């Protein structure tokens, strides 16, 4: 078998005391020596085929076919790739696999939300959540195993960063969800005997219609892998989901926002949560590095923002912390000052064991929402989903990872201090 060198992008160093320690990709070679094609673009698959001995023309054709089967049809078994010559299939099978993240636990909430605990080939656990609604189904995708940013309201923030997920581990979540929902197109490929109808390939009637990069981790601290995975999701020959149906949420990694808009062009969401410096410094500590004005200017400059594709500001409602009338008015003032095409998502705080905050009262949340709405800015209150299986916003944290003793002590002390 040819010796195959797999070229994967490296993670990106960003200087600064609250930035992550750059972790190596940490992709462990398979014991059987085969190369996993999941997460690789067409060009890389073609390159690997050439390296394994196919001539350039054959490698290009096989690369195109295999790419289509993997990402557009969800097929992971070479023997089912029916337009590839029968004699060719064992050759592929001897050298390559098409993997999927391993499912460790699958949970169903009483409100229909589903959560999966997944495991990478080298034994790291992470989660994804599917939230069905009447008119859409949204998959909340994880970008990192753990997080470096320690947002105070977020359970994942109490985990240490283990490593960045690879493009395969990120796009693999979308593919697993399609597997679970039975949503791969049923028609045949071009040039084959079966007729392929438009309905087989449109998003109409699908359960999984939208993706949000809002699972565990800060996607802009794993930018290249997230970008490469989303390109596979958006590729018309791949998972074929429009960029308008994908939202990337950042806590405010300002230097990466413009690049993200230019290179991926997905919708932007920002974990804002306060417009008062001292409060945001506490709740979203990256604010100490990239302040509110810098962040809002980066939003104003975000390439694909428009009235049709507004920026979403996520705002978790924390009792007596960020929920006053003055907070709401200041939020409105800043959105207007920066002329932002914006909507505000008000999120009732989801408690988790050891959390130091409480949720604002329903009356307070309603009043806050009214003030923003009255200024002409949409500010719906998000209905908590999947609370019974810890799948709601800010609660994602793998059951497999226990908090260290020191973390538990720190949280207990903070809670004590906050209570008075
Ligand atoms: S909110 Fe996002 S960026 Fe902040 S700690 Fe949680 S996972 Fe990390």
Give the model confidence (pLDDT) of 102-125 as tens digits.
Answer: 999 999 888 889 999 999 888 888
Residue 249 CA to ligand 1 centre (angstroms): 10
Residue 233 CA to ligand 1 centre (angstroms): 23
Asked which of 135-149, 231-245, 369-383 is least confident by mean pLDDT, the reply is 135-149
Instruction: Output the pLDDT for position 25.
Output: 46
Residue 335 CA to ligand 1 centre (angstroms): 23
Q: How far is CA 373 from CA 10, 20, 267, 288, in A?
A: 43, 37, 21, 29
Averaged pLDDT for residues 81-94: 95
Give the residue whose CA is nearest to atom 7 of ligand 1. Answer: 217
In DSSP terms, 125 is beta-bridged to 119
Residues involved in catalysis: 127, 393
pLDDT in tens, 129-160: 999 988 899 999 999 988 888 888 888 777 77
Site to probe by mutation for ligand 1, drawn from 142, 158, 217 as the one with most ligand atoms within 8 Å of Cβ, is 217
- Counting from 1 in the atom list of ligand 1, the atom nearest the Cα of 218 is 3
Q: Which of 115-119, 164-168, 364-368 has the highest mean pLDDT?
A: 364-368
314 by DSSP, 3-state: which?
Answer: strand
Band of residue 186 on the pLDDT scale cut at 50, 70, 90? low
187 has a pLDDT exceeding 60: no
Asked which of 202-206, 244-248, 306-310 is least confident by mean pLDDT, the reply is 202-206
- Burial 37-74, CB ≥16 within 10 A → b, else e: bbbbbbebbbbbbbbbebeeeebbebbebbbbbbbbbb
Give the angle subtended at the CA of 294 by the CAs of 293 and 298, to the nearest 5°.
115
Distance from C-alpha of 346 to C-alpha of 326, rounded to nearest angstrom: 16
Q: Give the closest residue to 327 by CA, choosing from 377, 273, 379.
A: 273
Residue 217 CA to ligand 1 centre (angstroms): 6
Site to probe by mutation for ligand 1, drawn from 151, 212, 273, 357 as the one with most ligand atoms within 8 Å of Cβ, is 151
pLDDT in tens, 331-349: 999 999 999 999 999 999 9
The greatest distance separating any two alpha carbons of the chain, rounded to the nearest whole angstrom, comes to: 73
Four-point Cα dihedral 59, 60, 62, 65, nearest 10: 160
- Counting from 1 in the atom list of ligand 1, the atom nearest the Cα of 216 is 7
Residue 194 token pair: 């079966």
Cβ atoms 97, 36 nearer than 8 A? yes
Return mean pLDDT, the chain.
84
Distance from C-alpha of 17 to C-alpha of 38, rounded to nearest angstrom: 34
Site to probe by mutation for ligand 1, drawn from 218, 349, 407 as the one with most ligand atoms within 8 Å of Cβ, is 218
Cβ atoms 45, 67 nearer than 8 A? yes
Band of residue 397 on the pLDDT scale cut at 50, 70, 90? low
Instruction: Output the pLDDT for position 189.
Output: 43
Higher pLDDT, 260 or 7: 260
Instruction: Output the pLDDT for position 413.
Output: 56
Residue 251 CA to ligand 1 centre (angstroms): 7
Q: Give the closest residue to 292 by CA, choosing from 274, 316, 305, 268.
A: 274
Give the residue whose CA is nearest to atom 4 of ligand 1. Answer: 151
Phi, psi of 221 (to 5 degrees): -95, 0
Give the residue whose CA is nearest to atom 5 of ligand 1. Answer: 157
Higher pLDDT, 4 or 222: 222
The radius of gyration of the chain's CA atoms, rounded to the nearest angstrom, is 22
DSSP conformational letter for 70: I
- Burial 115-127, CB ≥16 within 10 A → b, else e: bbbbbbbeebbbb
Residue 173 token pair: 């979540």
Q: Give the closest residue to 226 by CA, choosing from 186, 187, 259, 273.
A: 259
Give the residue whose CA is nearest to atom 3 of ligand 1. Answer: 218
Instruction: Output the pLDDT for position 306.
Output: 87
Residue 147 token pair: 């997080």
Residue 272 CA to ligand 1 centre (angstroms): 12
Band of residue 391 on the pLDDT scale cut at 50, 70, 90? low
CA 145 to mean position of chain CA atoms: 11
Instruction: Output the pLDDT for position 295.
Output: 98
HSE, CB side, 13 Å, CA atoms: give it for residue 113: 18
pTM (2 d.p.): 0.85
Instruction: Output the pLDDT for position 340.
Output: 97
Distance from C-alpha of 400 to C-alpha of 403, rounded to nearest angstrom: 10
- Burial 129-165, CB ≥16 within 10 A → b, else e: bbbbeeeebbbbbbbbbbbbbebbbbbbbbbebbbbb
86 has a pLDDT exceeding 70: yes
Higher pLDDT, 77 or 29: 77
Cβ atoms 210, 219 nearer than 8 A? no
Site to probe by mutation for ligand 1, drawn from 127, 140, 147 as the one with most ligand atoms within 8 Å of Cβ, is 147
Band of residue 223 on the pLDDT scale cut at 50, 70, 90? very high
Q: Which of 154-168, 188-202, 223-237, 350-364 has the highest mean pLDDT?
A: 223-237
Residue 248 CA to ligand 1 centre (angstroms): 13
In DSSP terms, 348 is beta-bridged to 317
Please return the burial class of 420, using the count of CB atoms within 10 Å of its CB with bins 0-12, 13-18 and 19+. exposed
Residue 316 token pair: 């978790």
Residue 123 token pair: 């034994």
Cβ atoms 383, 144 nearer than 8 A? no
- Counting from 1 in the atom list of ligand 1, the atom nearest the Cα of 217 is 7
> Tokens 């299986």 appear where?
389
Ligand 1 cavity residues, CB under 6 Å: 147, 149-151, 154, 156-157, 216-218, 251, 271
Distance from C-alpha of 186 to C-alpha of 206, rounded to nearest angstrom: 13
């Amino acid at each position: 078998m040819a010796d195959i060198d797999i070229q994967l992008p490296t993670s990106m160093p960003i200087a600064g005391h609250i930035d992550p320690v750059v972790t190596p990709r940490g992709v462990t070679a398979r014991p059987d020596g085969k190369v996993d094609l999941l997460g690789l673009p067409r060009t890389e698959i073609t390159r690997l085929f050439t390296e394994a001995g196919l001539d350039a023309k054959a490698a290009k054709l096989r690369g195109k076919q295999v790419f289509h089967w993997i990402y557009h049809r969800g097929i992971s078994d070479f023997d089912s790739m029916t337009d590839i010559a029968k004699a060719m299939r064992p050759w592929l099978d001897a050298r390559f696999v098409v993997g999927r993240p391993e499912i460790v636990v699958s949970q169903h909430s009483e409100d229909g939300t589903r959560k999966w605990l997944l495991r990478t080939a080298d034994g790291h656990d992470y989660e994804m959540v599917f939230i069905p609604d009447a008119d859409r189904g949204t998959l909340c995708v994880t970008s990192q195993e753990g997080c470096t940013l320690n947002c105070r309201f977020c359970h994942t923030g109490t985990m240490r960063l283990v490593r960045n997920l690879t493009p395969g581990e990120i796009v693999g979540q979308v593919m697993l969800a399609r597997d679970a929902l039975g949503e791969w197109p049923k028609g045949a490929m071009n040039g084959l005997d079966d007729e392929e109808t438009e309905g087989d390939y449109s998003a109409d009637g699908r359960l999984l219609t939208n993706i949000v990069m809002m699972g565990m981790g800060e996607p802009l601290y794993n930018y290249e892998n997230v970008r490469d995975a989303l390109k596979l999701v958006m590729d018309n020959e791949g998972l074929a989901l429009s960029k308008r149906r994908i939202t990337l949420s950042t806590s405010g990694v300002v230097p990466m926002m413009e690049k993200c808009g230019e290179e991926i062009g997905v919708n932007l969401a920002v974990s804002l949560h306060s417009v008062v410096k001292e409060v945001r410094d506490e709740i979203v500590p990256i604010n100490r590095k990239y302040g509110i004005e810098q962040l809002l200017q980066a939003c104003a400059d975000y390439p694909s923002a428009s009235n049709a594709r507004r920026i979403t500001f996520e705002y978790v409602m924390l009792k007596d912390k960020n929920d006053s009338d003055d907070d709401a008015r200041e939020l409105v003032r800043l959105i207007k000052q920066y002329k932002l095409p914006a909507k505000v998502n008000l999120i009732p705080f989801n408690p988790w064991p050891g959390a130091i905050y409480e949720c604002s009262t329903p009356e307070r949340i309603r009043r806050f929402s009214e003030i923003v709405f009255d200024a002409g800015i949409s500010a719906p209150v998000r209905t908590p989903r999947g609370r019974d299986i810890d799948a709601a916003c800010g609660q994602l944290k793998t059951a497999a990872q226990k908090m260290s003793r020191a973390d538990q002590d720190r949280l207990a002390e903070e809670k004590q201090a906050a209570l008075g």
